[in-house]
Structure formats: C-alpha cells, structure tokens
Amino acid sequence: MLKHRFTWALFWVAVLFSSGGLHSARAQSESGRRLSVEFEIMLGNVRWMLAPTTGPLERKGLHARLDSALLGYLGITARRYLDERGITNTGLLRQVHMLQVEFKAGDFTALATRLQDLAKAYPIDLRGILPLTVTPERLRVGRKLYRKSCWSCHASPGYGREYPAPDLFRTARTEPRREFAARLIGGIYGNFYTSMENPFSDEQIASLFAYFVHDKPPDTK
C-alpha cells in the first residue's frame, strides 16, 4: 500500500517525534487514551467501508461516523492531548488536517494508511485487557454484564441497517483484537438515541472480551 516505504518511514519518525507521538503507554492520560481509541476505531471503520461485503446502508452509517469524528471532535481531542502534555508543536494537528482533507476527497485508501500509522504512533494502553486472559470469574462477570447492558440491542444484530448493533461474539472473534478492545473502551457509536459513553472499567471490559471470545450467547428463550 505504501510507496517509497523507507522515505515514508523517515518522514513519519520526524513528524511523530515533533508532535509528541510514540509516547509511553505507561504515561498515557485519559485524553491520550481517548485520542488513541479514536484512531483505532476510525481505522476499523475505514476498513469496513472498503470491504466489498459492507452494504450501502452500513457504508452510509460508517461515513456519517467518520464525518462526525474527523470534522467534529477529533481536532478538539488532539488539542486537549497536546495541551495536557504541554506540546506546542502542531505536527499532530497537521496530521489531523490531512485526515480531513483525505476524507473530504474520498481518498479512503490514503485515509486508511495515515490512520494505520497514527494508531501505531499513539497506541492504546491495553494492559489488563490484552493479551486476553480467560478465567471462570471473568466469564461469569462477562456473561452477567452482557445480559444486563448489551443483550437487548445486540441479540438481534440487524446487519444491513445504517447503524447496526453487531453480533459481539462474531465481531470479537473476527476483528483485530486491538480494534475490538478500542470499540469496547470507546463506548457505543450509534445514533442520537443509542450513543453512550463507556460505563465499564478495564477489568469489566476484559471480562466481556473473554466472554465474547470463549463462550456463547445466553439462551434468549
């Protein structure tokens, strides 16, 4: 996908160091984590858009989510992260601007490439979630949380809709694990009525993740 890989890699090293990228996961703040989560989720959404199996309504919904993120709150999230770290160089903001330019131009291949590099430069601190550790207690907690908070919408995924509630068991087993973890951390990106901030702790997220990967949905009868 990348042309002139060596030159491109050198360019990114310079940009990311100047913009505060490649930061230590151990020093990741709440604003830093939110920024990292957004990069990972947007990358996944672009991949879904490019997938030939994605239907027109789903693609429309993904486009709307990218529009909301890229032309809405991503710039504010990036500025908050820079302010919190005391970084005055605007390298990161230039990259956000280029994401916006590529999105407006409909160049989703370039958008995916840039998001992939940003997701690597600003990795999510997933200690405690990944690598995934499965225990009987986590399976029990995950099952309970799913029944309480997820089942009512996700038991009937409704693929083909503009804003589907995906089958979490299938998604957890087919998506890249970092991407699925990011989606659990990020909360529900639905419409005006169904969007919700993540209410779970990292341990609860790990329990849900373990349950989705290593168990099966509860009996819905």
**Residue 43 and residue 117 in one domain:** yes
In tens, the pLDDT along 124-180 reads 999 999 999 999 999 999 999 999 999 888 887 666 677 778 899 999 999 999 999
Helix, strand or coil, per DSSP, at residue 171:
helix
pTM given for the model: 0.82
In tens, the pLDDT along 68-103 reads 999 999 999 999 999 999 998 779 999 999 999 999
Residue 38 lies in a domain: yes
In tens, the pLDDT along 20-50 reads 454 443 458 999 999 999 999 999 999 999 9
Give residue 60's domain range. Answer: 20-121
The 3-state secondary structure of 61-123, one letter per residue? HHHHHHHHHHHHHHHHHHHHHHHHHCCCCCHHHHHHHHHHHHHHHCCHHHHHHHHHHHHHHCC
Instruction: Report the CATH number that the domain containing residue 165 is assigned in CATH.
Output: 1.10.760
Helix, strand or coil, per DSSP, at residue 155:
coil
Question: Nearest 5°: phi and psi at 196?
Answer: -160, 135
What angle do the packed helices 30-50 and 177-186 form, to 10 degrees? 120
Taking CA atoms, 101 is separated from 64, 94, 104, in Å, by 16, 10, 5
User: What is the total count of domains within the chain?
Assistant: 2
**Residue 155 and residue 94 in one domain:** no
**pLDDT score recorded for residue 38:** 97
**pLDDT score recorded for residue 24:** 41
